Amino acid sequence: KAPANAPQMKPWIAAIHAYVPGKSKGADGKALVKLSANENPLGTSAQALAARAAVSTSAAYPDPDSTELRAAIGKLHSVDPARIVCGTGSDELLNLAAQAFAGPGDEVVFSRYSFAVYDIAARRCGAEPVVAPDKDYAADVDALLAHVNEKTRVLFLANPNNPTGTFLPRAELARLHEGLPPDVLLVIDRAYGEYVDPAHDDGALELAAQTNNVLVTHTFSKIYGLAGERIGWGTGAPHIVDALNRIRGPFNVTTSGQAAALAALRDQQFVIASREHNAATRADFVTALEALGNHGLRVVPSEANFVLVLFEGELTAEAAQDAIAKAGYAVRHLPGQGLPQALRITIGTGAQMQAIASALRDVAGDAG
């Protein structure tokens, strides 16, 4: 608490709970293998690492407009580069979207059990976060639309969703968009979009290209394995991109980040290999958990690079997390997000997932 004669933070800032990243140390202080931040277990494209290493100076400011990178993104995704804006991670773009389109007296809608940054993004510009109920851990289009009113300015939807992994198919996403008033900005956060089987594309980029009220965000932090470089991008109608460009950091993507992302984009083999590795390893992990039998474990269906495991029997999420930590792995427990009964587990390598399944088998047996 600030002394009475000191600067006072605005009341809406005081209401924010700072984002708490997952732990990567066990109770004994030992480092754990991190399966708690949805990073790519295959690392980063070798070509991206080489491009980053080839950046030979840091004395000059980066290209303020990420020109080459936007051109390459546009080419890959058939999007006009003029309709693309890059950010310091997609986090920056989510915050800018709320800031540009919502303020005090306005409402920002999102689903229960969605990305923690939406609440912060709404509050930091003085808007009111409004949480719509989920449908068995997935976004519920009817519930979201029922929470939209004349004060609503922005609606955030992650597809696939974090922390549940659930995915809204194309028809449902279209129904959500059709049900929204045209002056509400629909932000479709596709941080995990590249993990979805391309045959099940949700149509988000088409909505961004064809409508006036959709912003789609992507990141280089997940499948591209560049979380340490902090690069995201968004696309939408020109007036939406213009709004974000007015308020973003002028040099918001580093030179090394632009170089690495450009090379990573050109190495789609790495992306495909990562997607296929994830799908196969996730399927094996789910099968292994289902084989544990009737211990009250339930896996929420996931299209992402993690699964949410519910502990609805004798075995608690805390006990399961302890057992997994003893085996050497950090996974995410999110009681602060209303999920005391669940763990979010990033899909790592096959061997890592077998070790976790085996730790859960042992502790579930002990719990009866």
Task: Provide the 8-state DSSP code for 55.
Answer: -
* Binding of ligand PMP by 118 (CB under 6 A): no
The amino acid present at 364, given as its one-letter code, is A
Beta strands in the chain (DSSP E): 33-34, 84-87, 107-111, 128-132, 152-158, 185-189, 214-219, 232-236, 297-299, 306-311, 329-330, 332-334, 339-346
Pick between residue 19 and residue 61 the one whose CB is nearest to ligand PMP.
19
State which of residues 90, 152, 254, 352 lies at the interface with ligand PMP (CB under 6 A): 90
Pick between residue 89 and residue 257 the one whose CB is nearest to ligand PMP.
89
As measured in angstroms, the least distance from the Cβ of 227 to ligand PMP is 6
* Binding of ligand PMP by 137 (CB under 6 A): no
Residues in contact with ligand PMP, counted by CB under 6 A, come to a total of: 12
Cα gap 294→56, rounded to integer Å? 57
What residues numbered 147-166 form the site for ligand PMP, per CB under 6 A?
Answer: 158, 162
Pick between residue 52 and residue 295 the one whose CB is nearest to ligand PMP.
52
* Binding of ligand PMP by 221 (CB under 6 A): yes
Binding to ligand PMP by CB under 6 A, coded x per residue (else -) over 184-213, reads: -----x-x----------------------
Q: Are 114 and 161 in contact (CB under 8 A)?
A: yes
Cα gap 62→314, rounded to integer Å? 54
* CB-based closest residue to ligand PMP: 89
State which of residues 101, 115, 224, 311 lies at the interface with ligand PMP (CB under 6 A): 115
State which of residues 45, 99, 166, 219 lies at the interface with ligand PMP (CB under 6 A): 219
Return all residues near 268 (Cβ < 8 A) that are at least 6 apart: 76
* Binding of ligand PMP by 307 (CB under 6 A): no
Q: Are 153 and 180 in contact (CB under 8 A)?
A: no
* Binding of ligand PMP by 274 (CB under 6 A): no
The DSSP result for 120-146, as a single string, is HHHHHTTPEEEEEPPBTTB--HHHHHH
* Binding of ligand PMP by 100 (CB under 6 A): no
Beta strands in 96-210 (DSSP E): 107-111, 128-132, 152-158, 185-189
Return the range that interacts with ligand PMP (CB under 6 A); candidates 17-25, 86-94, 205-213, 342-350. Answer: 86-94
Return the range that interacts with ligand PMP (CB under 6 A); candidates 25-33, 41-49, 87-95, 120-128. Answer: 87-95
Q: In sequence order, what are the beta bridge partners of 234? A: 85, 217
Pairing of β 339-346 and β 332-334: antiparallel
* Binding of ligand PMP by 227 (CB under 6 A): yes
As measured in angstroms, the least distance from the Cβ of 233 to ligand PMP is 9
Could you give the 3-state DSSP secondary structure of residue 40? Answer: coil
* Binding of ligand PMP by 232 (CB under 6 A): yes
As measured in angstroms, the least distance from the Cβ of 73 to ligand PMP is 14
* Binding of ligand PMP by 258 (CB under 6 A): no
The amino acid present at 352, given as its one-letter code, is Q
Cα gap 120→307, rounded to integer Å? 24
Cα gap 249→95, rounded to integer Å? 12
Please report, as ranges, the residues that interact with ligand PMP according to CB under 6 A.
89-91, 115, 158, 162, 189, 191, 219, 221, 227, 232
